[in-house]
Amino acid sequence: MTSADLISELQTARPIAGHALRDRVRSIAESTPEPRPSLAARLSLRRISLVAVPAAAALAIAGAGAIGLARSDGVARDAVSNQLTTQTEDATRSKESTAPPELGLAGPATAQTVSPGALPPSTTRPQRYAAELTLEVAGSDELSRATQRALTIMRSLGGYVVQTSFDTQGDSGTSSLVLRVPTAKVQEAIVRISELGTIVSQRVSIEDLGAQIDELGRQEAVLAGEIARLEKQLARDDLTPEERATHRARLVGARSELAQVRALQAQSREEARYATVSLALRTDEAAAVPATPSRIDRALDEAASILAWEGIAVLYAIVIAGPFVLLGLGLWLTARTRRRRDDERLLASS
Amino acid sequence: MTLTRTARQSVTPLTFAAAAEAHLDDVFGYLLYLTRDRDVADDLAGSTFEKALRLWNRFDPRRGSARTWLLGIARSTALDWFRAEARRQRREQAAAVPELHEEGFVEGLSPELEQALAGLSASEREVIALRIVLELDGDAAARVLGISPTAVSTRLSRALKRLEEKVRNDDLG
């Protein structure tokens, strides 16, 4: 008998369950309500993994995104707050720089910061007029041309250069000019200079010098009167040598003080006659400063940071729990292998 | 037999009653080859279906057919019986070979083949039952036995070779 014959005979004589067993099984099936498939059966481990893993990843990403977005708002507020603080500090420094000049001459000084051309200098009162202008030009060639043009404009308006510096590297560079221009023509100067490039920042500071000059005038009058009185007394013949010496000393001091007051008056008038224009020119490349990241960028950065921390946490959990999981898996596999070997041995001996 | 079809699923959900009716002979035949005793096979088949009904809510058709699942439960039930039998024999200090009905356990087989089958181990008979008699494919048989399909092929090859030898020896004798 060949293997094929054996197989054929085995398949032909396929056992059939008896009626008693069939009835018993039917009664089993009919006696108890058929249980519905459990959730565990419907959701296999693979299916749960297919849903749970992407869901967990999506949750992690969404959480990181939400936190990142929330934090970016806080960062933005901080940035704005810092910016405002800086601006306030700038304004404070600006006011300090435009404070009434030396000698402690009292008098209300009014400092204002306005856009060029928005507030022209007064035609009736003396003022200290200072303008700061930052312009951006295309390249080093344009920087050179704009610098030359600014000087030409100044000279054509009757002004002069106080300080200048010019620095280029390749196609980038900066140029700094401190110019003095007749106050009466400062508006025109600013307008014409502004056309040399793109305005990056601009500031005009106006300080009233009228009170200061008036005070100096009063001091001058007082000193002049004092000098006249001293000269009159010195002209008398009845003075003792000591009194004459004292009056002479006072006269010398008064004349010296008067000369100082008059110099200050002249200086103040000169300041009022000429406005200071500080011009900074720079190329695009030189002006390139790190851009403040947008809220989306900040949110993405924050989200990436949080995701990195989540990854670290998961890695940490794997490192901590991994050995225990592997040990448990190993024990389970060993027990299963041993049970199967025992079963095989049992069946092989039966 | 109840066949229902839901609109949501394109496959036909199988009821326990239908599965039991369809695969009763397979379960019985497998247990018969394993135990070589019709009465024991009857009892074990009944126990198998009782257990299967309790576990039916865990049955997942995606992981295998009802037939394979029922045969797996049948094997587990049979192993319990073999263990109990081994303990009983040890208590009675009986011989290692259990006292089973060795003749006529499968109707329709020639005496030579039946005797040769009786000379095989339960492990060899079960692989013949699964692969030859019930005509399970290698993967399904491997799932029932808890071994790889390659191991099933090897085990079947050896079992058939031994069966052939035993039949030949019986013919010569």
* pLDDT confidence of residue B31: 94
Residue A115 pLDDT > 60? no
pLDDT tens digit sequence for A246-270: 988 999 999 999 999 999 988 888 8
Residue of A nearest to B109 (CA): A13
Token pair, residue A86, equals: 């800086």
pLDDT the model gives residue A86: 43
Reported as a single tens digit per residue, the pLDDT across A1-57 is 677 888 888 888 888 888 899 999 988 888 766 666 666 666 666 777 788 888 888
The whole-angstrom distance between B79's CA and the closest CA on chain A is 7
Query: Taking a C-beta distance cutoff of 8 angstroms, is the pair A165, A190 a contact?
Result: no
Cβ-proximal residues to A76 (8 Å cutoff; 6+ apart), any chain: A295, A298
Of the candidates A13, A24, A34, which has its C-beta nearest B56's C-beta?
A: A34
**Higher model confidence: residue A213 or residue A71?**
A213
pLDDT at site B104: 66
Name the token pair of B142: 């491997």
Three-class SS state of B68:
helix
Quote the percentage of chain A above a pLDDT of 90: 13
B146 → closest Cβ in A41, A340, A349: A340
In sequence order, what are the residues at sequence separation of 6 or more whose Cβ sits closer than 8 angstroms to the Cβ of residue A346?
B79, B82, B83, B86, B122
Mean pLDDT of chain A: 79
Whether pLDDT at A112 is above 60: no
- Asked if A25's CB is within 8 angstroms of B20's CB, the reply is yes
Chain A residues with CB under 8 Å of a chain B CB are 1-3, 6-7, 9-18, 20-22, 24-26, 28-30, 32, 34-38, 40-42, 44, 340, 343-344, 346-350
Higher local confidence (pLDDT), A203 or B128: B128
Determine the Cα–Cα distance for residues A312 and B132; give it in Å rounded to an integer.
55
Decide if B59 contacts B147 (C-beta within 8 A).
no
Lowest mean pLDDT among A64-73, A132-141, A188-197: A64-73
Give pLDDT, residue A76: 53
The CA angle B62-B66-B69, to the nearest 5 degrees, is 90
0.85 surpassed by complex ipTM = no
SS (H, E, C) A83-118: HHHHHHHHHHHHHHHCCCCCCCCCCCCCEEEECCCC
Closest CA to A343 of B82, B101, B113, B154: B82
Q: Is the pLDDT of residue A232 over 50?
A: yes
Q: State how far the Cα of B113 lies from the Cα of B120, in Å rounded to an integer.
A: 11
Give me the tens of pLDDT residue by residue for chain B, a chain 173 residues long: 443 433 344 455 678 888 999 999 999 999 999 998 889 999 999 999 999 998 888 888 888 899 999 999 999 999 999 999 888 888 876 555 555 555 567 777 888 888 888 889 999 999 999 999 999 999 999 999 988 999 999 999 999 999 988 888 866 55
